[in-house]
Amino acid sequence: MNVRRIEVQTNPPYAVHVGPSALKGVLEVGSQESGIFVLADEKAWSLHSGALAGLESAPRLEIAGGEGAKSMAQLEGVLDALTQSGLSRTSTLITFGGGSISDLGGLAASLFKRGMDVVHCPTTLLAQVDAAIGGKTAINLRLGKNLAGSIHQPRSVFADSEVLRTLPDEEWASGLGEALKTALLGGEDSLSSLEAQSSELAHPGSVAISALVADCVQTKARIVAEDPLEQGPRRVLNLGHTFAHAIEHCAGYGTVPHGVAVSVGISLALEASAAMSVLEDVGLPDRVRKLQEALGLPSSLAELRGLHDLGPEGLRAGLAQDKKGAVGQPEFVLVRSPGDLVLGIGMEDSLLQSLLG
């Protein structure tokens, strides 16, 4: 597969470059004259820095990736490093790492001198199919996930499939959880395509991965272009996330990979959709369950509870911090059928108790 260019029609528009060796194009968008700074996941940099040939001499900050990167202390550290490097608001910040690095770097770029360009080079599957696209940035606060952030669209994104070959199994599974969500948003064609490729995609290094990433990027680009600031339709991207964030909060950030929590969140959303008579495609939960099994993803809280302490009270505490609804009143995305979702749904306490066990 050659490198594909997918336009995200925000204002201004930008391109997502998807495919093997996509990172070779990074130097074409970075302004050497105005200055470049690289924020890198230290492990990703040690494995794949050669893919950014030509940027070895640029000032760089390497940090540990994962949810621990999304903290106020790390944000301050990035802003200090940008300042010490003598950069201006016309400079470019390049992120190189997973979703936590693009979230942190994007937020820092939006704040530094009231806004500088950011270019994302996502090195995990989750970041390529979701986190690096759309401009949402955030760090975690003690009481909840992604509670401090901004929307700051990147200048470009380079999703290189070659860097995915070294991902550990849990990171691969996390990306597949987000890909499952996006396939449900994309509609029947996207879901059927994921089903057809599921056995091949279950393990890192699949040759089909660039096509999956491109399909997810196209779906997200369409949704983001329709609602760049998440005022309405874009909230479909939160399918499974209200439950997922509660799972992550309860288990401790970084304990359950984000996309794995999303997979379980999707199952809970489908169960709620059926219970509230929203679900019209009655065969969809079984299809999703089979797809989760084929992709190596969990489909229930019971599976996660075999590994993590996820008591009902802890999950309820996590739901209370949902940033999408009013305080203490979480909102959910429910499903009628593939590509047809319902936004901003509240739930009766009795149903939540039943779902959270």
Q: Is 85 exposed, middle or buried (0-12, 13-18, 19+ CB in 10 A)?
A: middle
CATH class entry, domain 4-166: alpha beta
Domain 4-166 shares a fold with domain 229-356: no
Structure tokens at 354: 């039943």
- The helix or strand, by DSSP H or E, that contains position 62, with its residue range, turns out to be strand 60-63
Strands 332-337 and 340-345: antiparallel
Length of the chain counted residue by residue: 357
Q: Which residues neighbour 80 within 8 Å (Cβ) at sequence distance 6 or greater?
A: none
**Per-residue pLDDT of the chain in tens (357 residues, 90 and over written 9):** 689 999 999 999 999 999 999 999 998 775 566 899 999 999 999 999 999 888 888 999 999 999 999 999 999 999 999 999 999 999 999 999 999 999 999 999 999 999 999 999 999 999 999 999 999 999 999 888 899 999 999 999 999 999 999 999 999 999 999 999 999 999 999 999 999 999 999 888 788 999 999 999 999 999 999 999 999 999 999 999 999 999 999 999 889 999 999 999 999 999 999 999 999 999 999 999 999 999 999 999 999 998 899 999 999 998 987 766 655 678 999 999 999 999 999 999 999 999 998
Pairing of strands 92-97, 117-122: parallel
Look at strands 60-63 and 36-41 and give their pairing: parallel
The contacts of residue 45 (CB under 8 Å, 6+ apart) are 60, 62, 96, 97
Q: How many helices (H) and strands (E) does the chain have?
A: 13, 11
pLDDT number for residue 46: 96
CATH number listed for the domain at residues 229-356 = 1.20.1090.10
What integer pLDDT is reported at residue 326 of this predicted model?
Answer: 55
DSSP string computed for 137-161: EEEEETTEEEEEEEE---SEEEE-G
Cβ proximity of 103 and 77 under 8 Å: no
What is d(CA 286, CA 236) in angstroms, rounded to the nearest whole number?
Answer: 21
Domain boundaries, the chain: 4-166, 229-356
Asked whether the beta carbons of 78 and 61 are under 8 A apart, the reply is: yes
